[in-house]
Chain A
């Protein structure tokens, strides 16, 4: 139990994005997560913390990892967890998003975890309904629990990098920034922690005026972008980006923006490699890097994801812990 529960400054009803979440709050969540981490290594991986609480996972987008992570997080704390997968966000046919959530709300869950393909869907729900909402990813906008678990993972490795905190830490987030909620939430969260964030990728995959929007440095050439950084965070490139004219081919993309061992040598020698998953081997990352346990912390991210989600669910399900 690292600094467990000592700074309980968390009085939010929802977790919608990393915007406006301060350093103290982030550290407080990391503390709580660290204390839950131990549960996941017990023989009997269950604590009664959320007994009698109900968590609904409402997923409008396919997701195995995030949904499983939230589900396990709830179950290991003895909450009742219900999974609802909705094929697509086709508002036009059938029930509207707000009606679906209103229906769920009527069953009085303690938290609804929502993933949706449209940016802002969860903020919209939070504005119109009463339920407490955790954003498990909305369009290109935000994925706050991913950012928190990434910050926790980096935090774990600060000693190896010879650092005490995030100040001056160089983090390169690389690839399809344009479509990435992971990049946006991480940029906000890491900047709050004092890190220096770089966005690296082809100009077609970079949002407009992104330096101004996120206080990051932009690099279009991978070799320059990862030079001397402490963290290389790779993003998934979806196949459909090739057909829509963002990049001409996998071959060209991997050649210029793929993370190879040779390229990784440009980063700091203690640099860690991260990926939110699922990976496209040979597209954005070479297997030689992904599987190099000296550098890759990808599986640690998954483990930390569970702890972070336990912490967030705990905070939102038990209002007493919020204040």
Chain B
């Protein structure tokens, strides 16, 4: 797109959850920054984008994404991952550190940011590892990595299982106000399991992972938060037990937050039937009981974010026996329509739903995004709330196909995605 100083998004229904704004309005952008929302005077030479019939919202913020670069470029790259993001209306992603090398050193943070600057089309915020090499033993340089551009720390994919190490991590993080994101699965309870433990695992003869593998870890960590005062966030929370623990901690005023992945609130363990490796991830799809608890948690406001845990894989990693298959599903391109099922299903309002994908995760990560307040970068998504379409794994914008939603009929289609005033995705283009 040709660079013009002024762009006006005209006539859309502007939903800006941060300010509880939901009405038809124009959004004026100047040099990539939101200038005004309402009925601003149209400056001369202004480019006008017609948003009639569309929702105009802050670009989505996904705080849990695997871009795979560096090291696993055959699964996905920063370029392909950010292309998926743009197609899903996501303008900012937090990139998990389980790359090769692991993002456990300021130099890797710098590398990721540089790659993102050159080849990425949405904003990329690296998450640093909590421990070196994700080994769960030695802490990384939280301070230096924050200065290099990290927004949080996580050993995601692995759990900081050692209680003493987690205590030190939470304690040390306080020096910088850093957020620790835990992939909460007790390894000794996971112990070779490859799906949720329950009726389906028993029927399929697959080793199961009990829900307690998550809740016990979250319970323990909350005790450590009480001890240390560190900021603690549960990644991809999937169980009723862990949710109850988080809600309890929040009631006590502890700095404990959590996110939920769309696949966990929209699918259950039954999706694994037939040994579908596209329904395999960690933590696994749970029972209907847990899924309902997650929906209640969403309605009650226990969650601070909906995050995809977008995890692209090459076909070879998935086209094997179920237990041998890699964990993870892609989610960026289906984040919005699956989340909108919460709105059509009466769990929450559109504004509440978008809040979990915009300003709430942005504030958690301390990034200046996810709002349409004048002065914020003009990251926007324009979408048709009602347009229905069918998810097709052969028509994904990224390189990976491992979606558990193949064939699902959904509503809500991204029409345009803008980052700092530039269009990075347009439907049908």
Interface residues of A (CB under 8 A from B): 19, 89, 91, 96-98, 116, 118-121, 123-124, 127-128, 138-142, 181, 184, 207-210, 212-214
Contacts and interface: CB of A to CB of B under 8 A. Distances in A.
A119 B197 contact: no
Given A213-B203, A214-B202, A214-B203, A208 B208 contact: yes
Given A19-B203, A123-B275, A181-B205, 5 more contacts: A91-B324, A118-B321, A124-B321, A207-B208, A213-B202
Given A120-B275, A209-B199, A212-B199, A138 B320 contact: no
B206 interface: yes
19 contacts: A96-B319, A96-B320, A97-B320, A98-B319, A120-B204, A120-B205, A120-B206, A120-B275, A120-B321, A121-B321, A124-B320, A140-B205, A140-B206, A141-B204, A141-B205, A208-B201, A208-B202, A209-B198, A212-B199
B383 interface: no
A214 B204 CA distance: 11
Interface in B180-217: 197-208, 210
Nearest to A141: B205
A213 B199 contact: yes
Contacts of B206: 119-120, 139-141
Per DSSP, chain A at the interface is mixed
Contacts of B316: 96
Contacts of B320: 91, 96-98, 124
B274 interface: yes
Contacts of A213: 199-200, 202-203
Contacts of A140: 205-207
Interface residues of B, number: 22
Nearest to A97: B321
B257 to A, nearest CB: 30
A169 B202 CA distance: 24
A60 B117 CA distance: 49
Most buried by B among A116, A140, A181: A140
Nearest to B322: A120
A19 B202 CA distance: 13
B323 interface: yes
A207 B202 contact: yes
Contact of B324 (A118, A142, A181, A214): A118
Nearest to B194: A119
